Every structure is written in structure tokens, then in C-alpha cells.
Amino acid sequence: MDLQHLANIAIEAALSAGKIIQKYKDDNIAVEQKEGGSTYASQVVTKVDRECESIILSHLIPTCKRFDIGLLSEETNDDGSRFKKPFFWCIDPMDGTLAFINKHPGFSVAIALISRDGMPVIGVVFDPSTETLYHAIKGYGAYKNRRRWKIKNSNKHLTYITDKKLSDTPNFTKIQNILNTYKSNLALKNIKEISGTGAVMCAILVIENGPACFLKLPKKEIGGGSIWDFAATACIYNELGIAATNFKGEILDLNKEGNTFMNHEGVFFANLMLNSKK
């Protein structure tokens, strides 16, 4: 299987979806609710999400037939092909729908190719707000706007990236203690917060604002993001050599059975290197 060829197709699909998002970004879009997790953010959907999915599938479905690839996409029922095929496409047509509705930067397109055992081998993210493309291919590195991406951490503070403000987060104290521990261990001056973006851009902003982290604690309630919220960025992190794990520091379960939600294990995306150029 030619991963570079498939990555180019995924990139074109993401850019096409990005154009749709840009067309609607200043409009007042009707909001619908769908079955989702326990949070409002996981339940909102718009016609933009669906149009993005349609254009992405027009690019990817031919590859499914040609290369025997399965499919998992947020706005389409899971057909179980991800458990039968050697690889499957994992698509978030527009992550951060709530940010998009609120006209707040932090929405993006995310496409990953994942092996049946849960290993991401292609990750593509497009940020329509800044027209920035991020992608990675297993064994070939990570790229920003098609140039090799090198991490440059220069902050003297720890940045906590979050979809929901820390003060509004359950287990606020536990997360605060975790952040304080990292701040102390890294001898950083203080902690700053960037909030209100979707999970995909949270992970990207961690790389862009190091030292930084984004995390979700394990919980009983259905939610915590879905496979498609973390798959593309997990591939990018793997190629950059930084942590994209579950909360315990173990490999993310990116092809779990039962449902797609990640609440059972939580997530931890971290870029905690100091003054590094990787």
C-alpha cells in the first residue's frame, strides 16, 4: 500500500472540506442535535458537517474499493468495516463544531488512516481559520504546510490547552494538581490556559505552544471525545516523537469495540520538551 499516495488523496479531501467551512464561516448556521456523548459539544451538528463529510467521502471511497480499506466517519453510522479490513479511514469532517457555531477559531478537518490493530499510519489536519495544513505519514515524519515540522519550545510557562475552561471542568482540582506538578518539575514560572477549541486543534496547539499539554481524565460517562478526535493528531505526535497516549501513558486504543468514545481511558497529549528543536 502506497501511504504517500493515500496521504496526498487525504490532503486533497481535507482541503476540499476546508473550502466548504470557509464558505460558511461567517454565516449563521442552523444547529441540530444528534445522539452523542454526555456533553453538548458532542451532540451538535450542522449542514456544514454533512457537506464536509460528503466531499471527503467523494475523495476517499474510491480508495476503499481499490485498496480494500474500511471506513469510520463521524456523521455516518459505524458499519464495522474497521474490524474487518487491514486499514480504515477515520474521518472528522469538522471537528470543533461548537467553536464554529460560536465563530471562535478552533475548528478543523481531520482524516487518519488506521491499521486494524489501532496504529495510525496517516494523519491529516487542516485549520481553515489560518489555512494551515498539518500531516504525517508513519516512518516519513510530520509536516506543516508540506515542510518538515520541527518543534520549537521557547515559553517559560506551561500552557494548558483545553476545549473547556479548567474552571468549568469536573475534577478541576485533580487537573490543577497535575499541571502544578509539571510546572514544578520543569521549573516553569506559571501556567497559562488556551481554551475553547475542538480536540483536534487542542492537540495541534500543544505542539505550537510548548511546553504544553492537553488531557482528558477517564470517566464513566459516555464521551471524552471519539476515535476521530485523536487519530490524525496521534499520527503527527508519533512522528514528532512526543506523547499521544491514554491518561495512563499507554498506547491509545484507536480501534475499540462497543463504541467510538474514549472516556474509558482518557487521553494525554504532551509537548514538554524545554528549549528544544526536534
Which positions make up the binding site for Mg(2+)?
74, 92, 95, 229
The whole-angstrom separation of Cα 54 and Cα 60 is: 10
Output the known binding site.
Answer: 74, 92, 95, 229
In this structure, what are the phi and psi dihedrals at residue 16, rounded to the nearest 5 degrees? -65, -45
Long-range Cβ contact pairs of 48-51 (< 8 A, separation 24 or more):
48/20, 48/21, 48/24, 48/94, 48/97, 48/100, 49/74, 49/75, 49/93, 49/94, 49/97, 50/75, 50/93, 51/20
N-term to C-term CA, the chain = 29
The whole-angstrom separation of Cα 37 and Cα 245 is: 21
Cell numbers placing 21: 467551512
